Amino acid sequence: MADKKKKKRLSKVFDYLKYEDPFAKGVSFCAGCPLERLVRFVPQVMGNDIVITGTPSCSAPVLLGQNGKSWHKLSYYGTLMTGAASNATGLARYYKRAGIDGTVVCFNGDGTAADIGFGNLSGAAERNEPFVYICYDNEGYMNTGIQKSSTTPFGAKTTTTPVGSNERGKNLRRKNLGLLLAMHKIPYAATATLSNLEDFAKKLLKAKEISKKGFCFLHIFSPCPTGWGMPTDTGIEVCRKAVQTNYFPLWEAENGKFSFTKEVKKPKPIKEYVKLVKKFSHLTEEEIEVLQKDVDYEYAVLKQLSLLDQECPLPD
Amino acid sequence: MSEKIYFNFQGPWSDAATELLCSDTGSWRTERPVLDEEKCILCGFCAMYCPIQCIEMKGQFFHSDLNFCKGCGVCARECPKKAISMVPEGEFK
């Protein structure tokens, strides 16, 4: 009914979307991939004057461009997986020395951040280089055909950890990348996901501010509908369940001071998350219990860290 | 090359100043989001979560740009009032 008057109750997230979307409307991401929302969200919040460096990954075909043409209006520097953070270091140092006020964003998947480029990521964190490192975690090498990475959780089915008579998915546990980077005592480390966009926008703005002085790390949970076996419409729903079950808690650490940005009062059992994703569909009760214990342990560590009332900032 | 190209929406490795690549992603779609204007409360959740960012305010309501909508259904799933339904494309031809 056109004549019916409705009060406009827009979500607060729209206040953070201050800049235009620099991407073309039709870009070649899979339908329903939360990564597409993520790459559009970062420049919408941080501004179109950021410089993105990235590696071969799901985001590269779009961010790098094809046939000499570009999908977006941002500056992008494509580099190798073994030297992602080192390249960003060079760019950030150049802009600092030249006196150009710009933010360098190193935008990589979990394969680069946790496995192949972990050495130089750790090095850049230790040297406290002034840029933002964003790792979007889809828990595997999705672009090359869904191989397992070190952030793949226990029991997940991938093409290198298949389910059969000898093997039942990944039999190892995942690496907690956010916590590992926070332990480098960097100025800012945080986790975020796409179901809590307001929280995510706040963290991006904070990272942009702090990255003028030091290293910022953002660990973003981004499910993969193709690789995980989810219907295309459940991308955001899976993100929300991951937060509600404490599978992916939302926290931030500023100068070593940990705090939860969204504390779940009554966490749901991991079973509710597991049943949404087909890569866990073979898990038995005992195997789900192993995953639950892993999640509980990681949460307990974070909880203890958040209770500490101590900081360790670097003197100016 | 202009004297200072950095941060003018123009990087050394792209020709973004002239034109952008764009695919016909609307042709991927098997289902189309249809809005029930009676139920809509204008919260904007569909426009906020749409991965393609093709849902925009057109007139009084949010409608998706069907030239680019991939038909993923995130808008229908996230709508708090279930005002958006996914209708198979065959019904429109």
Residues 6-35 of B with CB under 8 A from A: 6-7, 9-16, 19-26, 28
Picking from A69, A194, A196 by the largest number of B CB atoms within 10 A of its own CB, the best residue to mutate is A69
Residue B11 located in a structural domain: no
Q: In terms of CATH architecture, what is A30-307? A: 3-Layer(aba) Sandwich (3.40)
pLDDT above 50 (res A119): yes
Instruction: Using a CB–CB cutoff of 8 Å, tell me whether B70 touches chain A.
Output: yes
Tens of pLDDT, residue by residue over A85-100, are 999 999 999 999 998 8
ipTM (interface predicted TM): 0.88
pLDDT above 90 (res A156): yes
Tens of pLDDT, residue by residue over A159-198, are 999 999 999 999 999 999 999 999 999 999 999 999 999 9
Predicted model pTM: 0.91
> What's the domain range around B55?
25-92
Buried b (16+ CB within 10 A) or exposed e, B36-67: eeeebebbbbbbbbbbbbbbeeeeeebbbbee
pLDDT above 70 (res A49): yes
d(CA B91, nearest CA chain A) in Å: 20
Every domain of chain A and the residues it spans: 30-307
Q: Tell how far CA A122 is from the center of its chain.
A: 17
- Give the per-residue pLDDT at B46: 92
Q: Which chain B residues are Cβ-neighbours of A23 within 8 angstroms?
A: 53
Residue B16 located in a structural domain: no
A70 with B20: Cβ contact below 8 A:
yes
Tens of pLDDT, residue by residue over A204-254, are 999 999 999 999 999 999 999 999 999 999 999 999 999 999 999 999 999
Instruction: Assign residue B30 the CATH number of its domain.
Output: 3.30.70.20
pLDDT above 80 (res A48): yes
Residue B20 located in a structural domain: no
- Give the per-residue pLDDT at A4: 52
A100 with B20: Cβ contact below 8 A:
no
- Give the per-residue pLDDT at A26: 85
Instruction: Using a CB–CB cutoff of 8 Å, tell me whether B41 touches chain A.
Output: yes
Q: Which chain A residues are Cβ-neighbours of B11 within 8 angstroms?
A: 51, 70, 74-77
pLDDT above 80 (res A121): yes
Tens of pLDDT, residue by residue over B50-63, are 999 999 888 888 99
The structural domain count of chain B equals 1
**Percentage with pLDDT > 70 across chain A:** 97
